[in-house]
Amino acid sequence: MAKLNIPPPHGGELVNRVIEKRDYAESMAAGAIEFDLKPTTLPDGTPIRHVYREIMSVCYGFFSPVEGSMTSTDLEGVLKERRLESGWVFPYPILLDVSEEDIKSTGVKEGDRLLLKLKGQPFAVMDVEEIYKINPEEVATRTFGTPEDNPEVVREPFNEKHPGYMIYKLMNDHVIAGKWTIVNPPKFREPYDRFWLPPAECRTVIKYVKKWRTCIAHQTRNVPHTGHEALMKNAAYTGDIEPCHGILVNAIIGAKRRGDYPNEAILEGHEAVNKYGYIKPSRHMVTFTLWDMRYGNPIESLLHGVIRQNMGCTHHMFGRDHAAVGEYYDKYATQILWSEGIPSFGFEAPPNEVDKGLKIIPQNMAEFWYCPVCGEIAYSESCGHVDQKQKFSGSFLRGMVAEGVMPPKVVMRPEVYKAIVKWWKVFNYPFVNKKYLENLNASLEVDLEPMEVPKA
């Protein structure tokens, strides 16, 4: 086997649409029509998405080659076969959705420049290429699939209990399409600032600081238990002529479903794994991507592939029930996608074997459980004591945490638990609840400096 190296960015080039120089930024924003970005909310007012996270991820290159809010042609290509108009694979609609009232009150039309404001300050500009109508429910349904149209992996119709489905279903019915450019780069607050590593910088760190030739990505939306740790350590044995040099943990940060752990605890929980030597820091690094998780199992795994390839990873580990919630998809839907493809979603072959597909190499992993006979955490495909297995369960652990029971260290590292308790004390609650989501929506992960924009 030949030695591997960092793959090229998806689409060939990293998107970088961030203007740091204030005078250039001001001249770009001058005279643009102002528009305040708003969250997507549930009928009871609970915020479930903020488009600013998508703008950040696009402009800093996490979602390369996507450069902005999708045109109707891009949207149709993504919904039909997960391809942009350019032919490159991309899984999800990325849209700046607005109401008819917004269109009327701003008077925006194709060819105009919009100044998108966040927390009252200028944030980004976009040149409007197209304004079109969508049926949000249809977008939601086609994004995730149906048992009839996608029988390979969809087991149940998506409904109002699915957080990702609701994000699309509750969108406004007009879309403003066009490329985004950040003109007032936000500053991340503690603890996010310690983990913010956009793709261009991440590639540099991997290559020149960490000196990793190969690197396997670990997707997370959870604080790690020892089953996750075993997954990371064992999946990293893949590589080329030697195991992967590095493990890149990339947490998805944004609004999550109620009952998940707070973003802050997730980041510091993973950090504790390397800080306290369970995986040494020279081999393990924690980062994040801003994205309001859609819980789309195989569809989400495609986005994970895009993000982590852009960040410079050679491999991506995928476990059972990847990025899933409920029983909507087959538990192995992601692994089916990456091992044989899902034709009804546009993949006659795995995403890394199709034209204009991904270059990142999948590592499909089965399960880890505690085996009392082996006396260790065992891999399901190796351990023969199936009858005695004791499975890890995130929800079982959440129940233990809620009851105030410190999980034993064979299940969760004490330092990881302490990270949970640290943020529990801050929020008076160990998990995401409505109040957490409201506070997060009000403060976001960032602050913006005041910026005066010259009038036209």
Partner 1 sequence: MPVWRLTLSQWRYQKLNGVIKMVHYIGVILDESRYEQIKGTEIEEKVQSIFGGALKMLVVEVPEDKSNQILKAFDRARIDSRGFIEDVPVAFRRAVFEEIVKNKSLDIVDKVLERLSEIQELAKKEDEYIPPPEIE
Q: Please give the residue ranges that form the binding site for partner 1 (CB under 8 A).
A: 258-259, 320-321, 326, 331, 370, 372, 375, 380, 386-391, 393-396, 398-400, 402-406, 408-411, 417-418, 421, 424-425, 428-430, 433-435
Give the nearer residue to partner 1 in terms of CB position, either 241 or 386: 386
- In whole angstroms, how close is the CB of 236 to partner 1 at the nearest point? 24
Three-state secondary structure along 87-120? CCECCCCCCEEECHHHHHHHCCCCCCEEEEEECC
- In whole angstroms, how close is the CB of 325 to partner 1 at the nearest point? 9
- In whole angstroms, how close is the CB of 96 to partner 1 at the nearest point? 31
Give the nearer residue to partner 1 in terms of CB position, either 203 or 225: 225
- In whole angstroms, how close is the CB of 159 to partner 1 at the nearest point? 13
Give the nearer residue to partner 1 in terms of CB position, either 197 or 401: 401
- In whole angstroms, how close is the CB of 406 to partner 1 at the nearest point? 7
Give the nearer residue to partner 1 in terms of CB position, either 403 or 452: 403
Give the nearer residue to partner 1 in terms of CB position, either 243 or 394: 394
Give the nearer residue to partner 1 in terms of CB position, either 62 or 368: 368
- In whole angstroms, how close is the CB of 383 to partner 1 at the nearest point? 12
Give the nearer residue to partner 1 in terms of CB position, either 23 or 381: 381
Give the nearer residue to partner 1 in terms of CB position, either 209 or 405: 405
Distance from C-alpha of 262 to C-alpha of 256, rounded to nearest angstrom: 8
- In whole angstroms, how close is the CB of 360 to partner 1 at the nearest point? 27
Give the nearer residue to partner 1 in terms of CB position, either 134 or 377: 377
Q: Using alpha carbons, list the distances in angstroms from residue 432 to 11, 312, 427.
A: 35, 31, 9
- In whole angstroms, how close is the CB of 410 to partner 1 at the nearest point? 5
- In whole angstroms, how close is the CB of 387 to partner 1 at the nearest point? 6
Which residue type is seen at 185? P
Distance from C-alpha of 288 to C-alpha of 280, rounded to nearest angstrom: 19
